[in-house]
Structure formats: C-alpha cells, structure tokens
Structure 1
Amino acid sequence: MSRYTNLLVVIDPAQDQQPALSRAVTLSERCDADVKLTLFLAIYDFSYEMTSMLSSDERQAMRNGVMHQREEWMNDIIQSHNAQHCDIEKEVVWHNRPYEAIVERVLSHQHDLVVKATHKHDTLGSVIFTPTDWHLLRKCPSSVLLVKEHGWPDKGKIIASVHVASESETHAILNDKLVDEGEVMSAMLGAELHLANAYPATPVNITIELPEFDPTSYTDAVRGHHLTAMKALRQRHHIEEARTHVHEGLPEDVIPEIARELDAELVILGTTGRTGLSAVFIGNTAEHMIDQLDCDLLAIKPDGYISPLDPRASD
C-alpha cells in the first residue's frame, strides 16, 4: 500500500526530541511493507577549518572525532524514541550546506521520502520554515514531509490541496497524484481524505472600469467552473461530495482556514515547474499558504521532475 519504504530522516543536532524520527517510526509501523530508515545528520564547524596550526590530516581527524560523537548521540536518540526495532542506518557527514548534503544522499541512495522537523511559532501558531526547508521543497527530487511536535491521531483528517480549474496537463496529472497520495496516507493512518480548492474573487478593477459588468454572474460562473472540475476529480477517485471544499479566496488564505476548520493533521501540496519539469519551484502563493499552516506538510513533486542539483539537470 505505501510507496514510502526508503526514508531519509533528518536529525536536528540542537534537539534531543526528534519529531521527524517519531513520525518516521509511525509510518514504518503502519506500513504493510518493510521500511528502512536512514538517520541523517549534516554538521559543520567553521572553527575546525580555521585551525591553521594543524595539518589537513589532523583537521580531518578532529572532524572524524566530532562525527563519531554524533553517531553515538544518535544511538541514544534511537533508544529514547523507541526505534530500536526499526531497520535503521545512520550517516553523519561534514557539510556546510545541509540541504545539498540531503539532496546528494537522496540522489545517491534513491530515498523516496525525506522526513524533517520544522518549528511552530509560539505566538502565531504557524509553521516557521528554515532556509533548509525551503531549499528542500524547491530542489529535493523526492517527496518531503515537514513535521511538528504533535502526534497523528486515529481517524484524523488529511487535506489534498488541488488546483482543479487549470487547463495545464501537468496540473491535471499532479492533481491525480495528490489524491492518490492522500488515499495512501489516509489508508495508512486511518484518516479521512478531503480535497480543497480555492477560486479567485472578482477583480475589483473590472467592476470599476466596466460599469455594466455583472460581478455576481461572473463569480457564479467562476465558482461553477471550479465546482464542475472538482466534481470530475472526486468522481474519478470515488470521493464523496461532503469531503470536497471549493471556497472563494486566495489559496494562501483558503487552504489554511479549511485545515483549521477540519483540524487536519496533514496537508498535501504539489509543486510545479517554472519552465517544464526540470526547474521546479514554490511560487509566492504557495509560500504564503505554507506559512499559514499549523499542521504537517507533505510536498509532492510531479512525475519526471529533475532536481537542479542532479547532474542530469545540466545535460
């Protein structure tokens, strides 16, 4: 059932509690296939590079000592998160750009999911994404699951954020992939899958520049188009109408609001390419939407996506 059997779990060197590992353990326990977890830690200390009195071999020995200490610390992390029964590999690398180290590992070992913890703002409740998070969302060739410090309850809710009215074939294929992904995750977690879509409000300038323009009819037509497209999508995947949501507004406002109303545990989001599938990016709309979410995020790449860090991207 699960398509995720080779997980790369990014460890936070500054924390003893590792939500990413907890989530990965949950996925492995609920999967109907053997799952391998690789705990991955990229560390770097510039002071070790500036010790001019030491030879390169001595500096390397110091780095190796630090990495060995971290490997021992990761053993304690495994014990504290009750992950001893999982099939676990550990890797610590010395790298000053964690996202590059992560992507390189994904490319070399064909990981199908990167699991990484992110943070919740104490006051606003929204997720705070680090530069590494953003680089992974844009450049990682595998799916990326960003998690927070909370559990996934039984009989929870999952939202697939779809873009149903686009005439782009890439969007249509990605919509189907998002729904398929949602169905897999819902089955694994005993959750209920919902589909959510936002449609634009009538531009104010049109009503000013065209006095005879009927904004009500225009809004009804736009809404009707989105409802028809959503109906086709849900019927294709045998999803009942009550679990589909088509609301007026900007996606960055609508999707987080629906997630809060449903108390969703996970939002599944697709990414598309700027110039084809070889240059994926997260646009401003998606960035703003993600900033407003206060639940976990699963970012899915379109089929055929090639990371800009992949050697094939320069061919």
Structure 2
Amino acid sequence: MFKRILLMADQRTRWQSALERAAALARRHQAELVVVDVLENLPGHVEKLLRGQSLAAVQAAAVARRREQLERATAPLQQAGICRAVRVLTGKPFLEVIREVLREKHDLVMKAAEGKGGARTRLFGSTDMHLLRVCPVPVWIIKPGQPPNYARIVAAVDPDPTDDRRDSLNAQILCLAGELTRAEQSELHVVHAWTMQRWGGLGISRAEQHALAQQEQSWHEERIAALLKRWIPDDLQPQAHLLLGDARERVPALVRELRADLLVMGTVGRTEIPGFFIGNTAEDILNEVRSDVLTVKPRGFATPVRLAD
C-alpha cells in the first residue's frame, strides 16, 4: 500500500498517536518511516534582541535541540529498524514537507491534527489544510488521543461513469479503505450523497417527474453497487449508504452518526482555475468532520509547490 511514509512531528501538536499509527503502518507494510519537523525561520529583526548572537547560530541551535528531541522520541523505532531517519527543516512548514515529499518520493504524509475538533472548533489547522489542498500524495490527519485501532471506516465516493478522472479516484478511495478495513478488522461504510435533479419548469407532469426521480435514484444505486462489486471484496461486507441531499451536510452527519474513526475521501480540484486545488464540497466536508481523515488526490495531480521556489 505505502512504502515511504513521512510523519510530520509538528511540536505544536500532540503527535504521539500519529507516531504510533505511522509506526504500525510501516511495520505492517515493511515501509520506510521518516519523521520530519519544520521550524519557522526567525524574522530578521529578532537579531537585534540576541545580545551579540547571530540569527543563524540561534536558528541552528534550535534545529539541533529539536533534532535531539525527535531522536529520543523515535529511538526505539530506530533500533527496531522501523524509523529510518529524523529530519528538522526550516521554512514554511507545509511547503518544506511537500518539498521533502518531492525530493525523497514519499507516498504518504501523516500528521497529528492541529485542533481538538470539539463541537465548536475545527479539527484541522492551517498547515493541515494546506497539505490537504496541495500535497501531491495522500495525506492522513490523525486526531490526538484516537484509539489504536479503528472500529468504523467511512469511504466517501462520487460515481460518474462519464468522468474517468473521478471514477479513477473512486477506485483509489475504495481500495485504500478496503485495505485499511482488513488490516484494522473494522466495519466499512461507503457513502454517496446525491441531489435530485429539479424537473420543474420543463413542462412535464408530476407523474413524469416522479418517474424520472425514481430512475435517477436507481442509476445511483446501480453505480454504487458496481463500484463495490469491482473494488471491495465480498468478505469485507461493506455497508452502502445512498443519501439524498448535499454531501457537505450528509457526509459529516453520517460520520458523526456512525461515530466513525476514519473518513477516506478524495479532493477533486478544478485545476483549470489558478490557485484552486480542492473542490468546494471536499473543503466544506473537511471543515465539518471530527474524525481522522485520509485524503486522496486524482491521478496526475500536480502540486504548485516546486523544489526551486
């Protein structure tokens, strides 16, 4: 599934749960695990307050301290051959993590969520959202204090046989969710929220509108059934949820209702619009969920971040 995992050990978060899950994943799949943190560059005006020390020396000392902390935290994993290295970088956190992904060809980024995700607070902070928007590989954000195993996993799909890119993304989502369900011995729920086509004003009768609505529902049911048959083994016994309504509301509501531990979903961006790399629906769902999330980009997604920037 994943072979080169980058765990972002943001010191502003409680990242022990994320480390444990990343280590378990690396152990299960015989993958490389690298632990990375990024320290923001000190602003130039701070040098006036350093009493003769250079800005570079202070920054280097901070990097050395943080590296020592990470070495201590990961020592058992390094001795077991699970954690290959720790690195402390400087710069803008999400940019440097993505550059590290590009340099080292990581295929997964894991990170503890910045927020607590209470009823009135968002779970994902600014660095989380930047990674979810523009990181070119799957991003797994983990809520602090999560149980060691997931009881329920929800996979959100949006079937459309006329859109190869979207259908390919559905396959990625279901394959990942299926593998994790088997590994975690959890329940798998697959959700698709759809909105009814409005037929009013087209000069057709109510009976015809009702018949068209039934046809539309049957079409969605058939597409979900086809996706599950193709991509999910029968022994996983997935439970399908076909929900009428806006995905922005229905998907987070189902995650809460099921008390799901993980939501696996895609982030479909309209990349023809400069600077717009995540769909409105996906972003709205992410702002509402309080579970862990694993997000997947469409194949061929190109991050705007460059190594030379």
Name which of 93, 98, 115 aligns with 1:98: 93
Does the CA contact (< 8 Å) of 1:199 and 1:222 recur in 2?
no
**Partner in structure 2 of residue 61 of structure 1:** 57
- Give the Cα–Cα distance (whole angstroms) in 2 for the partners of residues 69 and 89 of structure 1: 16
- Give the Cα–Cα distance (whole angstroms) in 1 for the partners of residues 273 and 106 of structure 2: 19
Q: How does 1:104-143 map to 2 (within 5 A)?
A: 104-118=99-113, 119-124=115-120, 127-143=122-138
CA deviations 1:37-93 (Å, max 9, x no partner) are 211111125356541588x993222211111011112233336x9775332411111
- Give the Cα–Cα distance (whole angstroms) in 2 for the partners of residues 255 and 175 of structure 1: 15
What is the CA-CA distance between 1:111 and the residue it aligns to?
0.7
Q: Does 1:271 align with 2:253?
A: no
Q: Where do 5+ consecutive residues of structure 2 fail to align?
A: none
What is the CA-CA distance between 1:115 and the residue it aligns to?
0.4
- Give the Cα–Cα distance (whole angstroms) in 2 for the partners of residues 68 and 173 of structure 1: 44
**Partner in structure 1 of residue 165 of structure 2:** 170
Q: How does 1:15-94 map to 2 (within 5 A)?
A: 15=13, 17-29=15-27, 31=28, 33-47=29-43, 50-52=46-48, 58-78=54-74, 85=80, 86-94=82-90
Q: Does 1:227 align with 2:228?
A: no
Matched positions, count: 304
Structure 1 residue ranges, 4+ long, deviating more than 4 angstroms after superposition: 81-84, 152-155, 206-211, 238-242, 276-280
- What amino acid sits opposite 2:227 in the alignment? L
- What amino acid sits opposite 2:184 in the alignment? L
What is the CA-CA distance between 1:99 and the residue it aligns to?
0.7
- Give the Cα–Cα distance (whole angstroms) in 1 for the partners of residues 19 and 303 of structure 2: 25
Name which of 230, 234, 237 aligns with 2:231: 237
**Partner in structure 2 of residue 8 of structure 1:** 6
- What amino acid sits opposite 2:289 in the alignment? L
- Give the Cα–Cα distance (whole angstroms) in 2 for the partners of residues 133 and 254 of structure 1: 23
Q: How does 1:290-309 map to 2 (within 5 A)?
A: 290-309=286-305
Does the CA contact (< 8 Å) of 1:16 and 1:77 recur in 2?
no
Per the alignment, do residues 83 and 259 of structure 1 end up closer, same or farther by CA in structure 2, a change over 3 Å counting? farther
Per the alignment, do residues 213 and 183 of structure 1 end up closer, same or farther by CA in structure 2, a change over 3 Å counting? same
Percent identity, aligned pairs only, is 25
Task: Compare 206-215 and 59-68 and name the one that shifted more.
Answer: 206-215
Task: Compare 216-225 and 127-136 and name the one that shifted more.
Answer: 216-225
- What amino acid sits opposite 1:217 in the alignment? A
Name which of 242, 245, 250 aligns with 1:246: 242
What is the CA-CA distance between 1:208 and the residue it aligns to?
7.3
Does the CA contact (< 8 Å) of 2:39 and 2:90 recur in 1?
yes
- Give the Cα–Cα distance (whole angstroms) in 1 for the partners of residues 145 and 203 of structure 2: 51
Q: How does 1:149-164 map to 2 (within 5 A)?
A: 149-152=144-147, 154=149, 156-164=151-159
Name which of 283, 286, 293 aligns with 2:282: 286
What is the CA-CA distance between 1:244 and the residue it aligns to?
1.2
- Give the Cα–Cα distance (whole angstroms) in 2 for the partners of residues 93 and 219 of structure 1: 55
Per the alignment, do residues 266 and 91 of structure 1 end up closer, same or farther by CA in structure 2, a change over 3 Å counting? same
Task: Compare 300-309 and 233-242 and name the one that shifted more.
Answer: 233-242
Does the CA contact (< 8 Å) of 1:161 and 1:197 recur in 2?
yes
Helix, strand or coil: the match of 1:89? strand
- What amino acid sits opposite 1:285 in the alignment? T
- Give the Cα–Cα distance (whole angstroms) in 1 for the partners of residues 211 and 278 of structure 2: 33
Does the CA contact (< 8 Å) of 1:280 and 1:305 recur in 2?
no
Does the CA contact (< 8 Å) of 1:273 and 1:279 recur in 2?
no
What is the CA-CA distance between 1:177 and the residue it aligns to?
1.4
- Give the Cα–Cα distance (whole angstroms) in 1 for the partners of residues 215 and 225 of structure 2: 15
What is the CA-CA distance between 1:18 and the residue it aligns to?
3.1
- What amino acid sits opposite 1:5 in the alignment? K
What is the CA-CA distance between 1:198 and the residue it aligns to?
0.5
Does the CA contact (< 8 Å) of 1:144 and 1:300 recur in 2?
yes
Task: Compare 45-54 and 232-241 and name the one that shifted more.
Answer: 45-54
Per the alignment, do residues 182 and 68 of structure 1 end up closer, same or farther by CA in structure 2, a change over 3 Å counting? same
CA deviations 1:243-274 (Å, max 9, x no partner) are 11111011122212222333322111112241
What is the CA-CA distance between 1:143 and the residue it aligns to?
0.7
After TM superposition, the score normalised by the length of structure 2 is 0.85
- Give the Cα–Cα distance (whole angstroms) in 1 for the partners of residues 8 and 222 of structure 2: 41
- Give the Cα–Cα distance (whole angstroms) in 2 for the partners of residues 194 and 172 of structure 1: 18
- Give the Cα–Cα distance (whole angstroms) in 1 for the partners of residues 141 and 116 of structure 2: 11
- What amino acid sits opposite 1:232 in the alignment? A
Helix, strand or coil: the match of 1:163? coil
**Partner in structure 1 of residue 174 of structure 2:** 179
Per the alignment, do residues 45 and 104 of structure 1 end up closer, same or farther by CA in structure 2, a change over 3 Å counting? closer
